[in-house]
Amino acid sequence: MISQLFVLSQRGDNIVFRDYRGEVQKGSAEVFFRKVKFWKDDEDGDAPPAFNVDGVNYFHVKVSGLLFVATTRVNVSPSLVLELLQRIARVIKDYLGVLNEDSLRKNFVLVYELLDEVIDFGYVQTTSTEVLKSYVFNEPIVVDAARMANLGPAAIFMQGTKRMPGTAITKSVVANEPGGRTREEIFVDIIEKISVTFSATGYILTSEIDGTIQMKSYITGNPEIRLALNDDLNIGRGGRSIHGYGSSYGSGTVILDDCNFHESVQLDSFDIDRTLTLVPSDGEFSVMNYRMTQEFNPPFRINALLEEAGSFKAELILKVRADFPSSITANSILVQMPVPTYTTRVSFELEPGAAGNTTTDFKESSKRIEWGLKKIVGGSEHTLRAKLTFTQEPHGNITKEAGPVSMTFTIPMHNVSRLQVKYLQIAKKSNSYNPYRWVRYVTQANSYVARL
């Protein structure tokens, strides 16, 4: 069980501190922060999420730039503690709308009240916002959403098209709208993080999709909801060998390696028609997580060519091609590549018309070049040329001293797995009852790497 729980700012300030058992000394937050800060004396690696100092075990996770920490003296389940810390962050965000130092400080009484209901004597009681609502009485003081920082994957919908209600994700699930009436709406986000490793020749070495169907409901009265997924969805790669007809899967079939579900999800009809039934609780939660290694069409192809060009010089050509429909636009693209450590200067040459859309930079200290693009329209190709100047002759094969090329991006309204929410049905209270439903897709790069 947990002895203490505290939240620290990035500078190590104590924002929230709750002691549940009085068996760990008071200075633990300081001990913890010093240990984490000076882990290896430098940024050479982060402190692992669980470690022991003088008989006290410290667990921590980072959420929105805050450190959520728990201490214990006993041999607890570490995944329980770490998962709990994530959930506490989520519950607080559900309540406050925005999770940051400012909102925590403004609402500390509420936060303490929450922490007292979430944990008793070090034992988790509940982390469901829905359940907590009946025990927690403080009202959140909502801080200005305009000043908030990182919001996680769904944040993309903030900048997206106008149809997206921008305030959705920063809205507290308990606080009332200024108008006094909450809008009946529900958000279902299909978020896919993809990892691809290309070999030097462009061949796909590994590829993986980590997906989540995330839900956030502002519907009153908790009606039952049905989510229908692709009806030919298959689970378990083992299935292939059972049927023995590997080729019988058409291109339309989606095969998941594994998936798991939120505890509120009823799977009675899932095996039959791939529908999920649930009564969504308040707050944000993952209805389903899935993992897929089935081959898919990677949204970007990366082509890198690095060649020596005379003594102490080399030329680099980076090409990125967007392999998705032209109706879709990726944004926040950043391509990075380490160059040989003896590189002193890099001069870039942009393609015509790229000016407003592109940034380039050579990070002297980490010997990396960065190429940023605001937008890439599906089907288009972009090229960056760069001249590298060295202080010495390369040791041999220059490509072994540079790379790999890595890339981050976000593609709204596109998912590579082809998993779909076919429909979202809400049990009707009356004929006129028709809440807003938002089903949104987003693809993000996790580890998207091309080797040289």
Partner 1 sequence: MSGHDSKYFSTTKKGEIPELKEELNSPYKDKRKDAVKKVIAAMTVGKDVSSLFTDVVNCMQTENLELKKLVYLYLINYAKSQPDLAILAVNTFVKDSQDPNPLIRALAVRTMGCIRVDKITEYLCDPLQRCLKDDDPYVRKTAAICVAKLYDINAELVEDRGFLESLKDLISDNNPMVVANAVAALAEIQESSSRPIFEITSHTLSKLLTALNECTEWGQVFILDALSRYKAADAREAENIVERVTPRLQHANCAVVLSAVKMILQQMELITSTDVVRNLCKKMAPPLVTLLSAEPEIQYVALRNINLIVQRRPTILAHEIKVFFCKYNDPIYVKMEKLEIMIKLASDRNIDQVLLEFKEYATEVDVDFVRKAVRAIGRYESIIATLCESLDTLDEPEAKASMIWIIGEYAERIDNADELLESFLESFPEEPPQVQLQLLTATVKLFLKKPTEGPQQMIQVVLNNATVETDNPDLRDRAYIYWRLLSTDPEAAKDVVLAEKPVISDDSNQLDPSLLDELLANIATLSSVYHKPPEAFVTRVKTATQRTEDDDYPDGNEAGYSETPSHAAGASPPNSSSSAYGATRQSAPAPAAPAPAAPVPDLLGDLIGLDNNAIVPVDQPATPSGPSLPVVLPASTGQGLQISAQLTGQDGQIFYSLLFENNTQTTLDGFMIQFNKNSFGLAAAGPLQVPPLAPGASARTLLPMVVFQNMSAGPPSSLLQVAVKNNQQPVWYFNDKILLHVFFTEDGRMERTSFLETWRSLPDSNEVLKEFPGIVVSSAEATLDRLAATNMFFIAKRKHANQDVFYFSAKIPRGIPFLIELTTLIGNPGVKCAIKTPNPEMAPLFFEAIETLLNA
From the list 34, 38, 120, 323, which residue makes contact with partner 1 (rule: CB under 8 A)? 120
Cβ atoms of residues 234 and 280 within 8 Å:
no
From the list 197, 266, 357, 360, which residue makes contact with partner 1 (rule: CB under 8 A)? 197
Comparison of 100 and 399: residue with beta carbon closer to partner 1: 399
Shortest distance (Å) from residue 61 CB to partner 1: 5
CA distance 276 to 261: 10
Q: Does 116 help bind partner 1 (rule: CB under 8 A)?
A: yes
Q: Does 138 help bind partner 1 (rule: CB under 8 A)?
A: yes
User: Both tokens of residue 229?
Assistant: 């997924």
CA distance 72 to 354: 55
Comparison of 282 and 328: residue with beta carbon closer to partner 1: 282
Comparison of 360 and 447: residue with beta carbon closer to partner 1: 447
Q: Which residues pair with 215 in a beta bridge?
A: 188, 285
**Sign of dihedral through CA atoms 128, 132, 133, 138?**
negative
Longest CA span, the chain: 78
Q: Using CB under 8 A, which of the segments 21-29, 221-229, 275-283, 322-330 binds partner 1?
A: 21-29
**Cis peptide bond upstream of 165, omega within 30:** no
Comparison of 328 and 450: residue with beta carbon closer to partner 1: 450
Between vectors from CA 372 to CA 297 and to CA 327, what angle results, nearest 5°? 45
Task: Please report, as residue ranges, which positions from 303 to 322 form the binding site for partner 1 (by CB under 8 A).
Answer: none
CA distance 352 to 223: 55
Comparison of 157 and 290: residue with beta carbon closer to partner 1: 290
From the list 11, 41, 45, 161, which residue makes contact with partner 1 (rule: CB under 8 A)? 45
Residue tagged 């944004």 (tokens):
331
Task: Please report, as residue ranges, which positions from 370 to 389 form the binding site for partner 1 (by CB under 8 A).
Answer: none
Q: Using CB under 8 A, which of the segments 48-56, 172-180, 273-281, 353-361 binds partner 1?
A: 48-56
* Residue 421, helix vs strand vs coil: strand
Q: Does 160 help bind partner 1 (rule: CB under 8 A)?
A: no
Between vectors from CA 166 to CA 164 and to CA 171, what angle results, nearest 5°? 125
From the list 338, 339, 409, 441, which residue makes contact with partner 1 (rule: CB under 8 A)? 338
Cβ atoms of residues 193 and 156 within 8 Å:
no
Cβ atoms of residues 214 and 154 within 8 Å:
yes
From the list 9, 35, 82, 230, which residue makes contact with partner 1 (rule: CB under 8 A)? 82
Q: Using CB under 8 A, which of the segments 79-87, 150-158, 168-176, 276-284 binds partner 1?
A: 79-87
Q: Does 75 help bind partner 1 (rule: CB under 8 A)?
A: yes
Q: Does 210 help bind partner 1 (rule: CB under 8 A)?
A: yes
* Residue 25, helix vs strand vs coil: coil
Q: Does 184 help bind partner 1 (rule: CB under 8 A)?
A: no
Q: Does 257 help bind partner 1 (rule: CB under 8 A)?
A: yes
Comparison of 106 and 385: residue with beta carbon closer to partner 1: 106
Q: Does 238 help bind partner 1 (rule: CB under 8 A)?
A: yes
Q: Does 176 help bind partner 1 (rule: CB under 8 A)?
A: no
Q: Is 411 left (phi over 0), alpha (psi -120 to 50) or beta?
A: beta
